[in-house]
Chains A and B, each alone.
Chain A
Amino acid sequence: MSRLKKALEKAREARGDLWDEKTRPADDSLAVQPGVSSPAVEFKPFKPKYSQTQVVQCDQELLRKNKVIAVCTQDSADRMKILRTQILNQMCVEGRNTLLVTSCNPGEGKTLTAINLAISYSHQLNTTVLLVDADIKKPSIHTYFGLDNGPGLADCLIQKAAVSDVLVNPGMDRIVILRGGTPQTNSAELLSSHSMGVLLREMKNRYRNRFIILDSAPVLTSADPLVLAGIVDAILIVVEAEKTQREDVQKVLEMLRDRPIIGTVFNKMVE
């Protein structure tokens, strides 16, 4: 636990206490009352009211059961914070706000990592997160939240729906989910189509402080992440401890040779 604390300290230092300032009320004049937006104060907890986006209250119990850990254990939540911070540091250049989360093989924990990371992001008080289920062959993010597989990304790509219509807020602040939608077999083609590019650009630019996390299929079983790798700002590779083979990792690195991989996550480690 002390190691973790040390890491947190380090992370805090790296940030330069920026966020602490941002989250701590500097003096009474800047004190913010939750729920009230005051135009005089620049930094305030951003609590958007979702007018267009549908809000579905997700069962906390279910989330905990599904290991959406950013919600449950303190230790795990801290780890997510570390991850979040490191990623932020790497991507602090303006305009870089799309992150692809992928892995070598299925079941290594990329979806859950993406979700937890998104939730951790949402705890920051001045950014919003858009969590996109980009695995349109086998969408799964909705199951973690206990949502049905309503229309989503796939439907947008085949021109059957508009993005603003299919976004969902899971009852937590500052996080919006774009589900996978109707499963499609020609996912790679759709994702590499012109519409995807347009869609992504729109999502990026819609909100200034929005961070977009895309959860995709594994690299070794699908061409989707390779396609998406070309249009995102950063890639995060999730590796499962004592399961992912050395050769697989090297293969994936080879395949994503010239892409902006910012790092790896060592998941499911036994301590």
Chain B
Amino acid sequence: MAEQTEIYDIKFLKGFIRRRKKVFITVFSVVMVAAILFSIFAPKTYVSTATFLIEGQISEEVVKGMPVGYIDERLQTITQQVLSRDKLLEIIQQYNLYGARDDQAALEVAVKKMREDVIVRTIRAEDLDKRPSPTRFNTVAFTLSYQGKDPKTVQQVTSRLASLYIEKNELAKEQYVAQTTAVLKQKADQLKEQAEILGRKLSDFKRQHAGELPDSISFNLEQIYRLNTQLEEVNSKISFLESRGKNASGTLGPVVASGSQGSGPAATDPWTHLAQLRLHLQNLKARYSEKHPDVVKTRNEIRQLEDSLGITGDQSGSSSSPGDTELKRYLKQREEIQRKIAEFTRRNQIAPLLQTEYNKLTADYDSVMKQYNDTRMKLADANVIKKMDESQMGERFYIIDQPVVPQKPDKPKPMKILFAGLFASMFCGLFASVLMENLDHSIKSAEHLQKLTKLPVLTVIPLIPNDEEDARTAGNAIAGVLTEFKIRVASLLSRWKNA
């Protein structure tokens, strides 16, 4: 392998420029010319643009609970719709784009190409009312462009697409509202049903456990208190009657207060008391009729005592006295009161146990009712929007810049191409030069030769171009003229000096 003994200095650089000047200029020119030709003859692309403003965006607070949706999403959806195969085919065939005939395959290709040629760009603006929603920028406007070969066609297509956008947007809004309304209505109905069921359950429960529920507790306590008062009254009446009855029969011992709660002294033998009562009854019956209150009362008392002593049947029914009847009545009353007290007490005892279930039923019902109310509200809002849309007050797409017939092509951009071409040419030229230089293994300087051969370079003979002699003659002539001029000036100067 040839060793690299070349010396790199200014001389070498000058030599390099001189040697590779032709290559560089050739390659440079070729690339430059190619760039120029390209910028002139490259297929021109024209672009027509329609600018849309999104008017009257409703803020979230105006229509609570129903955001109109990110405009970006909606825009994307509409774009998908507009760029659907069917729609595009329609346009392609109407304006005869991409030279596609009825050939299926060509049409497919054309649809694909058209999708690439339609450009939608959103123009964003910061949230104008400074609500704290960091992830969301309001897209306030967007542009719709179409690029193609013929200016007029491009403008027409863009116009068509623009109107499609508006159309689709209106449609989308209607659909959205309608859909939402339908959904909401359905939901409301469901909820209503549920609420009714739960309501019934609740009322059944309430009915079933009337008085046993926690909200009856205070009432029950009141009743117990009232009944206790009554009981006391009744008890005192009873004791009075019993003492009177005892007095009436004389020998009867002190009255036995049976069954009364904590009232009266300790009783004598109940059997004795029974006997006394029977005797008393006989006396009464002799004097009065069966229906006489005393008789009835006494009879009642006897019965009571018999009951408590376990004797059934009316052994001496006929011997009741009127005093007995009243007593019996009061006794019965006492029984009643006691029973009632027991009942109320029982109810209060059960209440805590029922509380949980009651709470659950109530909660369920409440929640369903709440949902139902919310839904009703949303439904109302949807109707508001519908009304607004109908009266053109809702959010809509509005074209602020109609698509025009482009005067100048968008591509190719001559300045850009020429600039790029310039750089490319220089680079290619340089690259070619360096490449040629590296491929050239000739000896370029005497030093190099010396190093390579390790022999002395005895002399260096310059390249004599064929017309060097003429150049030499010319050079001599010029030199001669200059010398003559120098002599003339010198003599003039000396003459002035001396003068």
Contact = CB atoms under 8 A, between A and B. Distances in A.
Given A249-B449, A249-B452, A263 B462 contact: no
- Size band of the interface chain A makes with B: 35 or more
B457 to A, nearest CB: 5
Interface in A233-258: 236-237, 239-247, 249-250, 253
A73 interface: yes
Nearest to B5: A246
10 contacts: A65-B469, A75-B462, A79-B459, A79-B461, A240-B442, A264-B449, A264-B455, A268-B461, A268-B462, A270-B462
Given A240-B442, A245-B441, A250-B2, 9 more contacts: A64-B469, A82-B458, A242-B440, A243-B442, A249-B449, A265-B457, A266-B459, A268-B463, A271-B463
B443 A244 contact: yes
B449 A270 contact: no
A163 interface: no
B226 interface: no
B446 A269 contact: yes
A86 B458 contact: yes
A130 to B, nearest CB: 20
A269 B463 contact: yes
Nearest to B440: A242
Contact of A266 (B19, B441, B449): B449
A242 B444 contact: yes
Interface string A85-105: 011000000000000000000
Given A76-B462, A113-B461, A246-B2, A263 B443 contact: no
Contacts of B444: 241-242
A83 interface: yes
Contacts of A247: 2, 441
B463 to A, nearest CB: 4
Interface of B: 2-3, 15, 18-19, 440-446, 449-450, 452-453, 455-464, 468-469, 472
A266 B469 contact: no
Contacts of A261: 455
Identify which of A87, A237, A239 gathers the most chain B CB atoms within 10 Å of its CB. Answer: A239
A204 interface: no
Given A73-B472, A250-B452, A270-B15, A245 B458 contact: no
A269 B459 contact: no
A2 to B, nearest CB: 15
Given A239-B443, A253-B453, A264 B15 contact: no
Contact of B442 (A83, A244, A270): A244
A146 interface: no
Given A243-B442, A246-B441, A86 B453 contact: no
B381 to A, nearest CB: 90
B461 A270 contact: no
A61 to B, nearest CB: 10
A72 interface: yes
A69 interface: yes
A113 B18 CA distance: 25
A73 B461 CA distance: 12
Given A72-B469, A241-B444, A266-B446, A246 B452 contact: yes
B277 to A, nearest CB: 157
B456 A264 contact: yes
A198 interface: no
A263 B455 contact: yes
A263 B456 contact: yes
A207 to B, nearest CB: 25
Given A64-B469, A249-B452, A242 B446 contact: no
Contacts of B455: 237, 253, 261-264
Identify which of A79, A241, A268 gathers the most chain B CB atoms within 10 Å of its CB. Answer: A241
A83 B462 contact: no
Nearest to B456: A263
Contacts of B464: 67, 69, 73, 76
Contacts of A87: 458
Nearest to B461: A267
A6 B292 CA distance: 177
Nearest to B450: A264
Nearest to B18: A270
A183 to B, nearest CB: 27
B74 to A, nearest CB: 73
B452 to A, nearest CB: 6
A197 interface: no
B464 to A, nearest CB: 6
Contacts of A267: 461
Given A246-B452, A266-B449, A79 B460 contact: yes
Identify which of A72, A113, A269 gathers the most chain B CB atoms within 10 Å of its CB. Answer: A269
Q: Which 9 A-B pairs have the closest CB atoms?
A: A83-B459, A246-B2, A263-B458, A268-B463, A263-B456, A266-B446, A86-B458, A266-B460, A245-B441
Contacts of A268: 461-463
Contacts of B450: 264
Given A73-B472, A246-B441, A271 B2 contact: no
Given A239-B443, A242-B443, A83 B458 contact: yes
Interface string A191-223: 000000000000000000000000000000000
B443 A241 contact: yes
Contacts of A265: 457-461
B462 A242 contact: no
Nearest to B3: A246
Identify which of B444, B455, B459 gathers the most chain A CB atoms within 10 Å of its CB. Answer: B459
A249 B453 contact: yes
Interface string A57-78: 0000000110101001101100
Given A83-B458, A246-B2, A264-B458, A241 B463 contact: yes
B460 A269 contact: yes
Contacts of B19: 242
B446 to A, nearest CB: 4
Contacts of B449: 239, 249, 264, 266
A64 B469 CA distance: 8
B474 to A, nearest CB: 13
B373 to A, nearest CB: 99
